[in-house]
Amino acid sequence: MSTVTRDLVQKLWNLCNVLRDAGITYQQYVTELSFLLFLKMAKETGQEQQLPAGRRWDELRGQREHEGLGFYRGLLRDLGTSGSAPVRAIFHGAATALKDPRHLRILIEGLDRLDWFEARREGLGDLYEGLLAKNAGELKSGAGQYFTPRPLIDCMVACLQPRPGEVIQDPAAGTGGFLVAAHRWMCGQYAGFAGLEPAARAFQRQGAMVAMELVEDVQRLLRMNLLLHDLEGRVVLGDALSSAGAALGPADLILTNPPFGSKKGGGGPSRADLEFPSGNKQLGFLQHIYRGLAPGGRAGVVVPDNVLFEEHSGRQVRAELMDRCDLHTLLRLPTGIFYAQGVKTNVLFFARGERTRAVWVYDLRSDMPVFGKRRPFTREALAEFEAGYGADPRGRSERRVQGRWSRFSRAEIRERGDNLDIGLEHGHPADRESPGDPEALTAGVLELLRAVTAEIEALQAELGGEP
């Protein structure tokens, strides 16, 4: 993110201070600001023909303060039922959380004061993505569950190398970071798709990206993020672990960070095609992903540690994954790179078409510092992994056991009970953070509690009970 964009994002975020004392949450603020940003950006980019007459920025800005909030409520309602299809999708069921007309006036005037010439030059999509990142970085906002750190997203995209013409899916899309990054990477690699035929360019904009998101307000942010990056794609509001997920169809590339935790109320996915039910949502998503890959397709999936060693359904899912796909690479991530500090995570890279013969493990956790606000996680931390991963997106580049790289044959993993909690200590759990580090100790305790809870819920689900 450029310095100019960072400054613009900070100015937008500072407007949040106006609303905090009015009981507006961080998430409500970002949603509210998204509505207003859409109207303002439509004016600045000459796209107001998408909006019905009389329901545009200048009409809103021209309202008297005491009449503005009522006009704004009507504007949101009308945009959800008229205008272009993308506009209706973003504003469907939209409502404002603002109660004081004065606060609306402050937000409108604040947006008007921004340097929109600079914003357009830097990229409106980057401005909006920066706002989403700012929201996710605020621990009080609770939005970190929807936002994967940008350095990790960019690394996964670069390794898996999306190509024009491919269907790229994220079944737990959040605000769309993976899809936007994949599009941006392809634009850079393929000269903005200039060499493609018109129909192929239209596919990249309208059909290449497939996203599913469960939370309606987050889905609005997702649609806005795609639109500001000149993408539409197929965006579905729903649960990938329900029948709606099965209807997404096959994908050539799946990039995702499924939500962590257990399914509320116990029980597993409601999809008949997922053979191994579990209260652990990540195990359900993992089944959706490797079953949903087209022949020759590939995937990069962020999972917490318990997916690597959980028994019962967990072991069955890992075995089926390695039988159906080539699970060629496991990246063990350091603690502190996600906004939920206790979560330890990994990335599974696999491809459909061949069984797993060996898993290469890159352990970026053992003997590593804990990352956080004082020690930010950057792309540089992943440079050695990317170099070792190689140029083949299916993980077939030549590799050597050295440094943080280890190799475990399928037979060795089978002898371990299909347990993938492996790393630098060949055949032993990859968890050697400094024992004197309070953050590492706390993270370990929290992860252990999560694993125990998931085990209990999985056992109860298999016995037909309720947690």
The domain limits of the chain are 3-135, 144-458
From the list 463, 464, 465, 429, the residue with the least C-alpha distance to 447 is: 429
For the sheet with 325-332, list strands across it: 234-237, 209-213, 168-170, 251-256, 293-304, 345-352, 325-332, 358-363, 405-409
Sign, Cα dihedral of 152, 201, 219, 267: negative
Q: For residues 202, 205, 208 and 209, what is the CA-based torsion angle, rounded to 10 degrees?
A: -160
Flag the least confident range among 275-284, 314-323, 425-434, 453-462: 425-434
Q: pTM here?
A: 0.84
How many other β-carbons are positioned within 10 Å of the β-carbon of residue 236? Answer: 19
- As a whole number of Å, the CA-based R_g of the chain is 23
Going by the DSSP 8-state scheme, the letter that residue 378 receives in this structure is -
Domains 3-135 and 144-458 share a fold: no
Q: Where are the alpha helices (DSSP H) in 80-164?
A: 85-91, 101-113, 116-122, 124-137, 150-160
Would you say 269 and 234 are in contact if contact means Cβ atoms under 8 Å apart? Answer: no
Q: Is 304 helix (H, G, I), strand (E, B) or coil?
A: strand
Q: Is the pLDDT of residue 148 over 80?
A: yes
More confident residue, 141 or 248: 248
Q: Is 47 helix (H, G, I), strand (E, B) or coil?
A: coil
For domain 3-135, which architecture applies? Answer: Up-down Bundle (1.20)
Q: Is the pLDDT of residue 376 over 80?
A: yes
Q: Is the pLDDT of residue 427 over 60?
A: no
Amino acid letter, residue 356: T
Report the half-sphere exposure of 55 (CA within 13 A, side-chain side).
23
Q: Is the pLDDT of residue 188 over 90?
A: yes
Q: Residues 344-370, buried b or exposed e (16+ Cβ, 10 A)?
A: bbbbbbbbbeeebebbbbbbbbbebbb
pLDDT at 426: 47
| CA distance to 83, 303, 361, 402, per residue, from 423 (Å) | 54, 16, 6, 12
Average pLDDT, the chain: 84
Q: Is the pLDDT of residue 465 over 60?
A: no
For domain 144-458, which architecture applies? Answer: 3-Layer(aba) Sandwich (3.40)
